Structure 1
Amino acid sequence: MTVSLSEQMGAMALVDELRHRDMELQDHLDLPRRRAEVAERIRAYYQNNGIHYEDAQVEEGVRAFFSRRLMFEAPTLNFAQRLLARLAMAHRKLMIWTACGVMACALGLGITHLVDTTLNTRAGQSADRLTRIIEQLNDDIAVQRQRLEQVKARLEQQPQPVVAALVAKIDPLLPSTNLSFTLDRPDPITRENRAQLQTRIQMEQLKLSTPRKQLESARKRLNRVDHVYASLDLQRHLLDRLKAMPLPAAERLDMTNWAESVGKDIARLRLKKADATLAALKDYLDFATEPLTIELIDRPGIKSGVERCYEESGCSEDSLRGKSWYLIVEPLDSTGKPAFAPVTSVEDGTTRWANRFGVRVSYEEYLRVRQDKLDDGHISQRLIGEKPANSLTLRFNQRTSPTPDMILEW
């Protein structure tokens, strides 16, 4: 292997440098010589400055010099140097706190972004909801406008002052055209334009409050018009049915006057009262149509008769003074099923539909029925009256008076 001259020269220079460093190191490690040199420099200082000294003082200076020879004395640092040094010594904690700060900032930014996204989505949903409300309002306006036109057409064919008055109030409430709507929704919705969009939505919602109230008012009045026509139709139907029914003249007149009086309530828009009257009229016509028989009740657990005492001081068992007697009866239809009949109580004057009621009889008839039931536990003769078809009047036989008193409770 051949080594070039340049490499040989480089190696020799490196060896000389290492030898020189070793010599300097040995020189510093030669402690007796170094102590002597330090002692000599101290003596020279004292002599040059004219200071009296002793060998002990020189020796003390040498010991002091070599006592601090291998000690590190930190230099005096300014504020910036001290801060950098502390940061360098606490770099691990600093890194941890820095990481925590970075994570907190990232989390805050993430939450802020999530909140902004949620608010932007809600603003978009509010805009979509407002658009749907406008569409529904326009559809509803079209429906109510069509109803109004139908009412006007019927009003021309069947003039009704009460309907005409309602129509006059409905006309100004319904717009002739659809509601206009310009929201100018931005795309996309951001934090910068969200507040402006929400303000426009609130303004549009405020503008819609009046049309919505007017539409609701128009709908209620149109419903009332429908109600009026329904009541009038039912009244007309019941009057036609009454005319076709062969009732006795007196009963027909009473029912006709009753049916025609409903028109006054309808004209005054007292529709609940009119409907109640029409419902009662219908019940009476249904009652009049069917034939009924009136028989004494003869079933276990149900009284067949009751004794009433109206004497204020009390009734004696041996006295007939202040007493009345009633037999408990029930109306039956043509199939033998219990039916209802309008009964007016003689005790309080109230009238209601009842499927059981008491009919006043004489004391002798009361005892006769009582004895009949005691004989074998049943009443042999139960028939006490009837109501023929096409009639409203209950007719009783000779077992009681033609128009006996009746009671509803016992």
Structure 2
Amino acid sequence: MAETLAPAAAGAARGQAVKLDDLMLAMDVVDTLRHQDAFVARELNEDAREQELVLRLRKIYREQGIEVSDATIGEGVKALKESRFVYTPPKRGPGLVLARLWIARGRIGAALTAIAGAIGVIWAAYYFLAERPARIEAERAQIEISTSLPKALDEAYGEVINDAKTPAARPRADRLLADGREALARKDGAGAKAAISGLGRLSADLRQNYQLMIVSRPGEPSGVFRIPDRNTGARNYYLIVEAIGADGRPMALPITSEEDGSAKMTTKWGLRVDQQVYQSVAADKADDGIIQKRKVGEKRRGFLDVDYAIPTSGAAISQW
């Protein structure tokens, strides 16, 4: 059986090789014709001269030492006419677009994945750096306005009422309380805090306790007079005073100058008095260099104003 089958198999292999050689030669013929565009255009447009074309092709191959049969050359000429072995690009259309998308699906998928990842990073950054802090702050402000600020406002008002020993404090406290509640109603946290701070300062003023004393130290003036710019024939008299607290130390207080309206924190200022009081203090100091009656007023706890022991308008200057 082996001896019978072997020649048959060999013959089949030779047949396939012949057919393959003929196919390759036919493709080469087409390629040769395609690279001689002017020659082909002239010859193929005349069917009567096709035989001459075959002869010329045989000559071309013979010059190259290649034997090509007339059948193979004829097949090549026919294939060129039929545009075989020529790649024709597909026509444009939805099908072509979808096919190309399918071919590039790997690259497109990777690009979409990268884009989605970038969008995710941007969203996460926006959420954690902007949206979440803003949301937390809004929630905190809402809790503050609805709970902590109303409580703080009521407590600050209650402290003023408990500290006050003068009716003059009540209207100021009531006004600040009303301002704070109006701010809360319109969800104005800053306005409510301003009212609470105002009540705090009022309470601090009420708790202050000091004595107003004339400065009497070597090298420091105890009084001055000023000549107003608008009336050079007049004089304004001032005693230089300081607030001495319960610990015996001077206290810094906010003083507004009647000359230019400027305000500053200071431990000494000029208190406006009339000429008679000024001259009386000057005589007291001239007697022995010591002012016997230094106390000119007292600010008691629970009150807002100084209780003066001398005639004065309370006007002041902060520099001289």
Per the normalisation by structure 1, the TM-score is 0.45
| Corresponding residue number in structure 1 for 2:318 | 408
Contact 1:305 1:366 in 2 (8 A): yes
| 8 Å contact kept, 1:242–1:256 | no
Cα separation, partners in 2 of 1:248 and 1:350, compared to 1, 3 Å? farther
Counterpart secondary structure, 1:217: helix
- What is the DSSP-based 3-state SS (H/G/I as helix, E as strand, rest coil) of the residue aligned with 1:389? coil
2:195 equivalent to 1:285: no
The reply to whether residue 214 of structure 1 matches residue 131 of structure 2 is: yes
5 Å matches for 1:126-275?
Answer: 198-208=114-124, 211-212=127-128, 213-228=130-145, 229-275=147-193
Cα 1:277–1:309 change in 2 (3 A) is farther
SS class of match (2:217): coil
CA–CA distance in structure 2, aligned partners of residues 271 and 302 of structure 1: 48
Q: Which amino acid aligns with 2:212?
A: I
Unaligned residue ranges in structure 1 (runs of 5+)? 1-192, 316-320
Q: Which residue of 2 aligns with 1:365?
A: 277
**Distance in structure 2 (CA, Å) of the matches to 1:266 and 1:196:** 50
State the shift of 1:299 in Å: 3.0
Q: Which has the higher contact order (CA 8 A, sep 6+)?
A: 2
C-alpha offsets along residues 11-42 of structure 1, whole Å, 9 cap, x if unaligned? xxxxxxxxxxxxxxxxxxxxxxxxxxxxxxxx
Name the aligned partner's letter for residue 322 of structure 1: A
Q: CA deviation at 1:218?
A: 0.8
> What amino acid does structure 2 have at the position aligned with 1:347?
E
Could you tell me how far 1:336 is from its partner in structure 2? 1.6
Q: Distance in 2 between matches of 1:231 and 1:354?
A: 33
Change (3 A) 1:230 1:391: same
Larger Rg over CA atoms: 1
| Gap runs ≥5 in structure 2 | 1-108
Alpha-carbon distance in 2 for matches of 1:216, 1:246: 42
Show the 5 A alignment for 1:335-350.
335-349=247-261
* Whole-Å separation in 2 of the counterparts to 1:355 and 1:256: 31
Distance 1:303 1:346 in 2: 20
8 Å CA contact 1:305–1:325 kept in 2: the answer is yes
Once the two structures are superposed, what CA deviation does each residue of 1:275-325 show, in whole Å capped at 9, x if it has no partner? 344223212212212322111122345432221211436x3xxxxx32101
* Structure 1 counterpart of 2:311, one-letter code: T
> In 2, distance between residues paired with 1:260 and 1:352?
29
2-structure distance, mates of 1:329, 1:305: 9
Separation in 1, partners of 2:114, 2:219: 74
2:74 aligned residue: none
Question: How many residues were matched structurally?
Answer: 210
Residues 298 and 378 of structure 1 are in contact (CA less than 8 Å); yes or no, is this contact kept in structure 2?
yes
Q: Report the alpha carbon displacement of residue 390 of structure 1 after superposing the two structures with TM.
A: 0.9
Give, in angstroms, the shift of residue 342 of structure 1: 4.8
Q: 1:176-201 deviations in whole A, cap 9, x for unaligned? A: xxxxxxxxxxxxxxxxx998875443
Matched, 1:334 2:252: no
SS at match of 1:298: coil
Distance 2:123 2:247 in 1: 66
Secondary structure of the residue aligned to 1:409 is coil
Give the alignment partner of residue 392 of structure 1, picking from 300, 304, 309.
Answer: 304
Q: How far is 1:377 from its partner?
A: 3.9
- 8 A Cα contact 1:311 1:322, kept in partner: no
2:78 matched residue in structure 1? none
1:126-167: per-residue Cα shift (whole Å, max 9, x none)? xxxxxxxxxxxxxxxxxxxxxxxxxxxxxxxxxxxxxxxxxx
Relative to 1, partners in 2 of residues 1:265 and 1:301: Cα closer, same or farther, differing over 3 Å?
A: farther
TM-score (norm 2): 0.56
The answer on whether the counterparts of 1:325 and 1:360 sit within 8 Å (CA) in structure 2 is yes
Q: Deviations over 1:242-280 (max 9, x none)?
A: 232342223222222223322223334443344344223
Q: Which amino acid aligns with 1:404?
A: G
Q: 1:274 to 1:217 in 2, by over 3 A?
A: same
Judge conservation of contact 1:287–1:341 (CA < 8 Å) in 2.
no
Displacement after TM superposition at 1:392 (Å): 0.5
Task: Answer yes or no: is 1:312 the counterpart of 2:230.
Answer: yes
Aligned partner letter, 1:243: I
| Alpha-carbon distance between aligned partners in 2 of 1:387 and 1:267, rounded to the nearest angstrom | 37
- 1 CA distance for matches of 2:174 and 2:143? 24
Distance 1:261 1:381 in 2: 44
